[in-house]
Structure 1
Amino acid sequence: MTGGRPSALLLLGMIACVLADVVVPAEMLRMGARLLLVAFLAAEWRRMAVNAKVMIGLALGLTMGAAVTGTAEPAKVIAGSLDTGAFFATFFANQFFLREAARTSPLVSRCSTFFVNQPPGRRYALLTVGGYLFGIILNIGVLSLLGIMIKQRNSLEAAGGNEQIRDVRERRMVLALLRGFSVTPLASPLSISLAVMLTALPSLHWSSMLPLGMATGAIVLGLGWLQDRLQAPVHLRGLAPPVEPARDFAALGGVTALVLMVFFTALAFEWLLGVPLSRAMLVSTPLVGLGWLARQYLGGGIASGMTATGRRVVVQAGATFPAYRTEIAILSSAGFIGTLFSAMIPPETLGALIASPLLPPAILPALAILAVVGPALIGINPIVSVTIIASALSAAPSLPLSTESLALGLIGGWCLAINSSAMTASAMLLGELVGKPSRTIVLGWNGLFTLAVFTVLSLWLTLLARLIQ
């Protein structure tokens, strides 16, 4: 076993310990997950990106700070912080099982074609829905999947030889995809953002957060659709060649059914095991992903299909898990820092800050959004800001607004960070696919939309805070 395989086994072992602890809670399993997470990070240290190393350095510095500043029960607090880090790492790594099944699924290929092969107005709406739905399953992989199809289908020939039509089509399709993907933190039951919120703020429950997040996501998508309709170049309409629309609604229904299957399976585990939905999702995601993958091999019989499925998972996990090193380092460090930081903050200090007359409650949702967008503009991953702020809020004795409105403000900031920051992976990936600077996409093409969404979300969340106070 060479290359990245040893570290892949470390990550797989950590996942197994975390999943087993969900089903049969045991301190030995949690200890195993902590040790395996640290071992994985140590094994992949040399190949990590600089920002991942900075996050680990901050986590180590905060650990030493907790040990010397008189934090109550520092060993227990550090162990709990490592548990949060292992949970976030497992939540991210588990997406492998869905992504791997989707990579060779005929259903995904059919659905992608259905999204792209449409007349302009309908194409925007369906690509937005596709960015959202596939974003739930594939995360950022949806940008590669649909982005490549956009590039292939948007040829000069398809635009009737008119370069202006091709450029307009490219801009509209790329923005539809980006905006659809950007609402997954708000409206996905499988998103890491929902898991962060439910973990950092135990008073929240998915039954209130998810519907409110989906309503907020619908507002964002609706604004995007409206702007696209208003800015559609009417003078080019008669020049564009007609498109024979694809009508494969069954493929769209199939992808939707898969997302619902993961969610309802998690609900079943939540009820059976008596655990929060975010932890139940850790079990349902690999189960549904493995079932989806196995179905692709069952044509030759159950025994051979299961063997082929197992072989593929082993081979692909061995290649893929080590490549997650940077994401795992950032996510686990963010979870660790947030949990440890909240334990080190005196609750009365944070409570006094939040209740300060300098921070009237009406502006808190807007400040929550900006607290995530601002750091993202200089390259700080939204999960870092969201985790630390949410964990700090959990230490406050009371909040002047409903917890839901502040949580939605933070996740709304995550959504806007995807739409506005040229330093996010999503913007850089789309820029590379279409041959444009990422700043052109998020600022030149999407800047006015981001400002409009910020204004509307600030008003919406302030109103929501008053309604559910």
Structure 2
Amino acid sequence: MSRFLVPVAVLLELVALYLDSSWLSTLSGVLFVLYFLTMLGRLQAYSRYLFLISVLLVGALALAGELGPGELIYAASNVAFYAAFLGSLGMMQCLVRRLEVLQRIHDVLLGGRPALLYPKYALVSCGIASVLSFGVMNLLCGTLADTLRQRGITGASRLRWLRSVLISTLRGFALVPLVAPTSVAVAIITREVPTLSWSGLLPYGMGSAVLLILVGWFLEYKRFRMVSSERKALEHWPAGSGRLALLITVIFVAMAALVQLSGVKVSVAAMLTVPVVTFLYMLWHDRSLPGVARESVDNMLGMSNEMSIFAGSAGLGVALVAVIPADALAGLASGEQGVFLLAACGLLMMPMLSAIGIIPITVLSVQAGLMPQLVAEGVNPLPIAVALVIGFSLAMMLSPFGPAVMLLSRFGQVSRWVVAFGWNGLFVLLSIPLLLIMLWAVFVLAPATG
């Protein structure tokens, strides 16, 4: 019976988002908490302990009077939103078995000049993830694992394919906070500081994204050339290409209609549209409601570890912000150099804490919650906001327990430590100085010489 708590909770949250109903969202959060508590023994160690610590901390603060009913409702609502975020968008994976073009998407992307393969993968991954978020990780990681298995690619060749293709997918996905209005990072920061907007952050995010693509291109160029020598050339577009184009068009049109007619954010529109369109297509294709429903439930349950991490982090972030003193940052930032130093600390803190197991969304929830204190002291929040978005992007690649790295690790059957540090460690170390220099030039040197 407990296996049905997740799909019911996801459905309740989707309805709550459409109706803007806080009590439905709270109920959804409670159902998620009940499910993860009943499944604690089956979750991976990190997922289990993070979620348990979150529940215990929120409960202790509530009993001590530190968290009132309003904060508890907000925490439950956050749990529901972020768990449903993964559960709903992960439905994209169900299309892979039904469309040949998705099964062969890597043959499509690997076409063209070898020198352009890395930026192509990174940009395609970023573009898809801007709307479908974790759906792109499910899609590109899942199809590559199937492709390698079907072709019998093993040993050093398999590891080379995984490192080149999957790491470019992950790095492209990590560009989303820098350029997309649908990013969770942008949503958190702009909610805490209403004077900031996605359009105000975008120029700095695009500059950072260009730097990250150039660093990755430099590191992966030779490896991608070796992968390209083992690819299969396509003589024509795979079967189902037209149908996929139609499905994507339907999803985008439905999302645009939802945004225009109901006023929901683009990320919410994606959460509502993707699972509905996917489910209806599966039903039309299979003509079996019980089979489609069973597959949908199994697909959501397959992401239980990632969903519990997001849910636990959401509750933990609310709890930690509630206990930090209101004047904790008083007097820390003075002048442009002081603001830059504070921004640099915020940027560095994110990947450093992620590397030791505290996932980015938890850190960002606390950091963004402190920003109103700085605004109240007259500090310009833009440099700090840009630094936090950059730090969040880097942390997504360096967090061994983050959902993105865990998904890549699960599909590629590679240790998450190898993915986070072996494949991304040098990339992050090379990128950080360049990004800090960019921030210094934009927010310190430019105003000083202007």
From 442, 457, 460, the equivalent of 2:438 is 460
Separation in 2, partners of 1:196, 1:418 = 16
Encode CA deviations 1:17-56: one digit per residue, 9 max, x unaligned. Answer: 2222223334542342233222222222221222223223
Deviations 1:241-291, CA, capped at 9 Å, x for gaps = 998576759999997886676566444323322344444443233234335
8 Å contact 1:30–1:83 — kept in the other structure?
yes
Alignment map for 1:409-448 (pairs within 5 Å) = 409-421=387-399, 443=421, 446-448=424-426
Of 8, 21, 27, the residue aligned with 2:16 is 21
Amino acid at match of 1:285: V
Return the offset for 1:74.
0.9
Q: Structure 1 residue aligned with 2:308, among 320, 324, 329?
A: 329
Paired AA for residue 303 in structure 2? Y
Is 1:116–2:110 an aligned residue pair? yes
> What is the CA-CA distance between 1:415 and the residue it aligns to?
2.8
Asked if the contact 2:340/2:383 (under 8 Å) is kept, the reply is: no
What is the identity, as a one-letter code, of the residue corresponding to 2:275? P
**Structure-1 residue corresponding to 2:320:** 341
1:314 is aligned to 293
Aligned in 2, Cα 1:317/1:367: closer, same or farther, shift over 3 Å?
same
Following superposition of structure 1 onto structure 2, how do residues 11-410 of structure 1 map, counting pairs within 5 Å? 11-67=6-62, 70-71=65-66, 74-133=68-127, 135=129, 137=132, 138-141=135-138, 142-146=140-144, 149=147, 172-173=164-165, 175-188=167-180, 191-199=183-191, 201-209=193-201, 213=205, 216-229=208-221, 244=233, 248=237, 262=251, 265-290=254-279, 293=282, 297=285, 307-308=287-288, 310-350=289-329, 352=330, 354-355=332-333, 360-394=338-372, 396-398=374-376, 403-410=381-388
SS in 2 for 1:355: coil
Q: How many residue pairs get matched?
A: 442
Task: Return the offset for 1:330.
Answer: 1.7
- In the superposition, relative to structure 1, how do residues 100 and 171 fare at CA in structure 2: closer, same or farther (>3 Å)? closer
C-alpha separation in 1, matches of 2:430 and 2:111: 29
Q: Is the Cα–Cα contact under 8 Å of residues 154 and 170 in structure 1 kept in the other structure?
A: no
SS at match of 1:360: helix
Identify if the C-alpha distance between structure 1 residues 118 and 50 changes in structure 2 by more than 3 Å, giving closer, same or farther. Answer: same
How big is each residue's C-alpha offset from its partner over 1:159-201, in whole Å with a ceiling of 9 and x where there is no partner?
xxxx999987776545434433432443455554445445555
Shift of the 395–15 alpha-carbon distance from structure 1 to 2, 3 Å rule, reads farther
Distance 1:251 1:464 in 2: 47
- One-letter amino acid of the structure 2 residue matched with residue 392 of structure 1: L
Matched AA of 1:127:
Y
Q: List per-residue Cα deviations over 1:342-391 (Å, max 9, x = no partner).
A: 333333223x1653689821233432222111122122222222223223
Q: Distance in 2 between matches of 1:251 and 1:462?
A: 49
Residue in structure 2 matched with residue 300 of structure 1 by the alignment: none
Structure 2 CA distance, aligned partners of 1:464 and 1:458? Answer: 10
Write the distance in 1 (CA, Å) between the matches of 2:157 and 2:30: 56
Shift of 1:315: 0.8
Distance 1:411 1:249, change over 3 A: farther
Task: Tell me, in whole angstroms, the C-alpha distance in 1 between the residues paired with 2:120 and 2:35.
Answer: 40
Percent identical among aligned pairs is 21
Query: What is the alpha-carbon distance in structure 2 between the residues aligned to residue 143 and residue 398 of structure 1?
Result: 44
Letter in structure 2 aligned against 1:179: R
Report the 3-state secondary structure (helix = DSSP H, G, I; strand = E; otherwise coil) of the residue aligned with 1:112. Answer: helix
Contact 1:52-1:327 at 8 Å conserved across structures: yes
Task: Please state how far the C-alpha of 1:88 moved relative to its aligned partner.
Answer: 1.1
> Which region of structure 1 is more displaced relative to structure 2, 29-38 or 170-179?
170-179
CA contact 1:88–1:335 (8 Å) conserved in 2: yes
2-structure distance, mates of 1:434, 1:282: 26
Q: 1:217 aligns to what SS in structure 2?
A: helix
Name the structure 2 match of 1:3. none
Q: Distance in 1 between matches of 2:299 and 2:224?
A: 43
CA contact 1:132–1:183 (8 Å) conserved in 2: yes
Secondary structure class of the residue paired with 1:347? coil
Give the CA RMSD over aligned residues: 4.3
Q: Distance in 2 between matches of 1:173 and 1:412?
A: 23
Task: Output the TM-score relative to the length of structure 1.
Answer: 0.75
Whether contact under 8 Å (1:419, 1:442) holds in the other structure is yes
In the alignment, structure 1 segments of 5+ residues that lack a partner are 1-5, 157-162, 298-304
- TM-score (normalizing by structure 2): 0.78
Q: Is the 8 A contact 1:337 1:388 kept in 2?
A: no
Structure 1 counterpart SS, 2:376: coil
1:11 is paired with a residue whose SS is helix
Bigger CA drift: 246-255 or 353-362?
Answer: 246-255
Contact 1:187 1:214 in 2 (8 A): yes
